[in-house]
Structure 1
Amino acid sequence: MRAAAGASHEARPFPWGQVIHAGMCLLRLSPDVFWALTPVEFFAMTGGMRPQGRGLDRAGMEGLMRAFPDG
């Protein structure tokens, strides 16, 4: 499957510690609620679905370079 996708990177283990910490410590979910969540629900609860801001365009970068010159 990896060869078909062209990926040569080693798979990283799933970050269970971070996910459990976010769900139970930061969001203060009970274990029953945490384990009943779908991945999409968890993604939404942790801010994954909030609108992403646009990146800095060329005009914005040039404005920053004028405001904060390197030298």
Structure 2
Amino acid sequence: MKTLDWSALMRAGLVQLRLSPEAFWRLTPAELQLMLNLEAQNPPMDRDRLSRLMAQFPDPEHRAVPAPQSDLNTTE
């Protein structure tokens, strides 16, 4: 479940949107997000966007890394 940052939402609603406290508390979180245009800024990533990002920023090839040598098993 996603938690809401109520203090930030209250500042945005009361200061940025200049809503009255009564109008603010009558809104649903979804309505407030729409009024603040938050949905348009962070659309969920889809498979196509992920594929484009993976092509743009490929992971380096995996190379076998030798295991570190331990001094515990050496015989003198």
TM-score by length of structure 2 reads 0.47
Larger Rg: 2
Higher relative contact order, structure no. (Cα contacts within 8 Å, ≥ 6 residues apart): 2
